[in-house]
Amino acid sequence: MAIKSNFKTSLLLSLLAAALLLVTTPAFAQEEAEAEGVRYVVQPGDTLSSISVRFDVALNELIEANSLINPNNLNVGDVLVIPGIDWIEGTLVLQPLPIGEDYVSLKRRYLLSDADMARLNRFTSTSPEQIYTGFQVMLATEHGELTESARALVRPGVSLLELAVASGDSPWGLVAANQLAGTWAALPGDVLFTPGRPGNGPGGLPGEVANLQMVAPGFLQGATLQLNFDAPAGLTLSGEFAGYPLHFFRHEDVWVSLQGIPLDAVGERYSLLLSGTLPDGSPFAFAQPVRVAGAGYERANLTVRPELLDDQLNASELAYVAEIMSQVTPERLWERGWGWPHDLVNEITSGFGLFRTYNGGLASSYHTGVDFGGGALLAIYAPAPGRVVFAGPLDIRGNATILDHGWGVFTGYWHQAEIYVSVGDVVEPGQVLGIVGGTGRVNGPHLHWELWVGGVPVQPLDWLARTYP
């Protein structure tokens, strides 16, 4: 009985298996062919499990859909199929928002709807309002995007038809490419992609402003922001960041702007405003969404004599110094890299950016310079050519010297024992400005060195590591 039963069972199983094979083989063969679905380019720092979490796909499904890829050896640039995402086609790429682009310019450039942008950036936990320069945006490519397209400013009194004729596009082509509701919806001041002509440059600015670049590290607390761009003669440009006006200087056939990023701007959201007029007088304006990243400066708690926490004296002396160091002279006095102001370059006793709280939080301040130790009577050198704009005693800063280097760049030297220069002197790099002392409010003799750009103290050591611009 047992044998017969077994035979019957195995016969049944064999038949069943054969039937299953007949039914399932074609479907199985299809799955083995090129896996379908949206693709994702592996980024630095990605792992298979971080990708599965980001796209809410089970790890085993991800491995199955990408059978050719060794999950233990994922490489940056590998292209993975992401199963289950069927509402968009192409390749998903994660990239930092470039300078000169914003939410609108990106969705136009990549031909993505608001709904697509919102769904794509749920993968980065970013809403459209949180898309800032330098922060990652998720985009889908291979949609015939307008990466090589020129842009044109909609000028007051110029119709979309006229703009289309000038750019070699059809009016309805411009409407579609720029996601406008109709030909009537192009408003003066808007910058449109004009696919009829090739071009490069940021999508948020007219084609006349080309090759806009933000030099690293970009929007970092205490850093010097450097922007470069090309623009024709006759174009005027103005700008503003965190309440400070931007200044633009011509240098080796490009325009350059330098601006300090305030230390206390960390984590804050701003609009970097760039506006101006084209050579024909047409106005334009662009607001760059920005969030300032932290530089990881240390914090310290100090206890000092209470009379040293004189807020009024602090504020009035700072205002006096800031007034001097916020001027802008258009001539750049430096040509090459900068030198150190002090011989003992390894004797930095307190770094730039240190956040100090005093007497249990009664007061707090950022350290806006670099302290060089090593004792009194050491020489203080001019790090670059400059003009002496202040030389004399101050209550807190002691014997102080301020140099104007041009382009809104100033340096300050506090607590000196003696000052060897006078207002109006033009100093050479390496010239001795004075000697280290302990004048003003100090615990001991040291050189406190500050560097200001556009009215904001910045990390001075950045200026010794590279040349601006």
Residues that bind Zn ion (CB under 5 A): 371, 448
User: Tokens 């309440």 identify what position?
Assistant: 243
Cβ–Cβ under 8 Å, residues 353 and 459: yes
Output 317 or 371, the one with its CB closest to Zn ion.
371
Nearest approach in angstroms of CB 97 to Zn ion is 36
What is the C-alpha separation between 105 and 193, in angstroms, rounded? Answer: 9
Report the nearest approach of Zn ion to the CB of residue 76 (Å): 42
Q: How far is the CB of 372 from Zn ion (least distance, A)?
A: 9
Minimal distance, residue 68 CB to Zn ion, in Å? 58
Phi, psi of 390 (to 5 degrees): -150, 140
Smallest distance, Å, CB 369 to Zn ion? 5
Q: How far is the CB of 371 from Zn ion (least distance, A)?
A: 4
With respect to Zn ion, which residue has the nearer C-beta, 405 or 448?
Answer: 448
Residue 366 Cβ vs Zn ion, minimum distance, rounded to whole Å: 11
Closest CA to 110 of 165, 179, 43: 179
Nearer to Zn ion, 145 or 371 (CB): 371
Q: Residue type at 359?
A: N
Strands 363-366 and 348-350: unpaired
| Residue 212 and residue 218 in contact, taking contact as beta carbons nearer than 8 Å | no
Q: How far is CA 396 from the centre of its chain?
A: 35
Q: Which residue matches tokens 């409407």?
A: 175
Q: Which is nearer to Zn ion, 155 or 448 (CB)?
A: 448
With CB atoms as reference, the residue minimizing the distance to Zn ion is: 448
Give the nearer residue to Zn ion in terms of CB position, either 332 or 448: 448
Distance of alpha carbon 150 from the chain centroid: 24
| Residue keyed to tokens 């990390």 | 459
* Identity of the residue numbered 84: G
Q: How far apart are the first and last CA of the chain?
A: 94
The residue among 276 and 353 lying less far from Zn ion, judged by its C-beta, is 353
Nearer to Zn ion, 169 or 371 (CB): 371
Burial class (CB in 10 A: 0-12, 13-18, 19+), 37: middle
Closest CB 415 distance from Zn ion, rounded Å: 8
Size of the chain in residues: 469
Asked whether the beta carbons of 226 and 260 are under 8 A apart, the reply is no
Residues 248 and 255: beta-carbon distance below 8 Å: yes
Residue 286 gets the label, from left (phi > 0), alpha (psi -120 to 50) or beta, of: beta
Identify the residue whose tokens are 């971080």: 50
Nearer to Zn ion, 212 or 370 (CB): 370
Nearer to Zn ion, 387 or 448 (CB): 448
Minimum CB–partner distance for residue 450 and Zn ion (Å)? 8
365 Cβ contact list (under 8 Å, min separation 6): 314, 355, 356, 358
DSSP secondary structure string, 128-195? GGG--BTSEEEEEE-S---TTEEEEE--TT--HHHHHHHHT--HHHHHHHTT-SSGGG--TT-EEEEE
Instruction: Considering the complex, state which of residue 128 and residue 351 has its C-beta at the smaller distance from Zn ion.
Output: 351
Least gap, CB of 446 to Zn ion (angstroms): 7
Q: Which is nearer to Zn ion, 151 or 448 (CB)?
A: 448
Residue closer to Zn ion, measured from CB, 273 or 318: 318
User: What does 82-138 look like in DSSP terms, one character per residue?
Assistant: ETT--S--SEEEEEEBPTT--HHHHHHHTT--HHHHHHHHHTTT--GGG--BTSEEE
CA nearest 105: which of 184, 183, 212?
212
Q: How far apart are CA 219 and CA 129, in angstroms?
A: 18
Least distance to Zn ion from the beta carbon of 367, Å? 6
CB of 352 to Zn ion, least distance (A): 9
